[in-house]
Structure 1
Amino acid sequence: MLWIAKLLYKDESQRFGRELGSFKALGAPYTVSSLLRDEVERITGERPTTAELRTVKYRRITERVTVCVATDGNQGRGLAYGAREFGCRCVIYIHGHVSPGRKEAIERYGAIVIRIDGEYEASVARAREDARMNSWHFVSSTSWDEFKSPLPRCVMNAYMVMVEEALAQIPDVDQITHVFAQGGVGSIAAAIYLGFQRRCKTLPRLVMVEPVEADCLYQSAAHGTPTPSSGSLRTICAGLACREVSPAVWSILEWLGSDFIRIPDSWVVDAMKALADGGGDLPVVCGESSAGGMAVILKAAADSDLRRALGLDAASQVVLFGLEGATDPAIYERLVGAKHAVFDRQPIIRNVP
């Protein structure tokens, strides 16, 4: 019993197939296709379609273009996929905590992967500097200039597809009382919050959830200014292991965010298991970095003080964003069980009247 009226879950576990299985497969490929179309048009005067980019027609131009990014896994895999689809080169930078499984998943798409001895921010700095020196394209949602640069703006525009899909499927968006988003540098949370701000007559509570050891958004809210996390960044939530908030999105999160929560990894594992079980509802494959919202809902069900602090009650209608599936199958199986077992049970429950 969750003690709320309704729970809605946006499932990204099969976005472009279970191998990619993340909302980030929207942003990077779209941005790659856009910048390659610009490059072809600049040289030839012709603007190709994305279908033409998938052929060899303009390969003599696109194969000279290199895209790069720093990643915890999903963004890099999405960029490598886009580069392979549209015919350019790709270099991905990962930090010391990225799992071997996530590194191998990126390499399967043909990208060169460079591991940096340090945290996520060190890999970002190296990727940006290499891009500057080599005239590569740094494809990231993080912006240092209020999204004046086209590439981060393009990535964020593509992310809004996922937000608009969710809004379109909600029967009455004005009945939603709570929206939970995960942390990281804050880019996708900002996109989600802006989507609801534009559509809702009365803004729901917008709740940010982060790991205890990677809580830069919580710290920023507590101090009233962008503040780095002092945690170890050692968390199973690999996609959220970021030291600092994206400068350009903090103003959005500070403006719209109502609650900032940091939670231990043990809550995350419990939530992943609960989602995989389904409890009579549709079972869901949810990766570590997307289970935070469900983790808080589960804990609030057993903790009246937490429920009261968040304003959760029997009339609450809650939206969760499951932004990734089992992006490292070995880790998912160790924590929850084989992902295919969960996927195999989905059609059975869908057919129940």
Structure 2
Amino acid sequence: MNDLQKIPCVLMRGGTSRGPFFLASDLPRDQAQKDATLLSIMGSGHPLQIDGIGGGNPVTSKVAIIGRSKVEGADIDYLFAQVRTDRQYVDYSPNCGNMLAAVGPFAIEAGLVQGQGTDTLVRIHNVNTGKLIEAKVPTHGNEVIYLGDASIDGVPGLAAPIALTFMDAAGAKTGKLLPTGKAIDIIDGVAVTVIDCAMPMVLIRAIDLGLTGYEDPQALTENRELIARLARIRIKAGQLMGMGDVTDMVIPKPVLISPARKGGTLSVRYFMPSECHPALATTGAVGIATAAVTDGTIAFEDAGKLTVPTQIQIEHPAGRLDVQLEMRNGTITAGLVRTARRLFEGYVFAKPNTAIENAA
């Protein structure tokens, strides 16, 4: 196997996502070589990713790259990579809040952060967005505790709770909470809210697209007319947000908004962007919750015109995700609970770097 690259790797579940975690020092510094390595590791370009360790779905084709941070107020850097399943393409434009749940545990076990007491605070700088997130990781000394009594919808069983706090998520990519300067825009004949908070998104009332918003995710994914229309809307939204041509990017994400049915604040269907998420992205939840307290947005109207501090309960296909909004130093912070698990550690093998179809 000396013709293959042998790279230390830890496979982890973070929230409702899963993927390999790497130390930045173990991957090539050259961007093209790094992309080629990740594409080979994941098996990108095949729908099942049969020649790699990817899971053939956007939520299991994610990579976390971790290193020490030189950013003031941060312990570690976290670079997220969304590896496309359908073709050889690595997208570094978004953050992933579910994978983020496993970043703190990985950093402690990799020796990048010293565990302390029963809870260890890990201050994370997300390289993709430049934003800071605090993770409170259950520990026993320097040992990470994974077993516990917390549950999150979309993941079976119980685990130890990891509290994430997004310190100032507004303007993650564009620098503005409402990049167009308006709470409502009209795109493709429907009213939308274009918002950039943890994740750039386009919020659309499901009823305006002839849907209830409670449909099964697979049925929505297979509705090719819907997917084509959402693509038109998000491409136009990307232009309005100043992001240029977003055709090959996974942001902004389209989100269908509907009234809650099970006692929550809102019900949503979140797209990635051409497949409906089986649950809900953590970053998406932060942005949707913030929209719910932002005057004039679609979410604000449907949530009942709430003000901070408040808890936003977002219903999704797998259950519910609660986001606690608070004010700190004049900005909104968003807190939520996720869980994580270390699945295996060892080495992954990548083919030698060769020319790739299209690397970000």
Pick the TM interval, shorter chain: under 0.3
TM-score, normalization by structure 2: 0.24
Q: More helix per residue: 1 or 2?
A: 1
Q: Which has the higher strand share?
A: 2
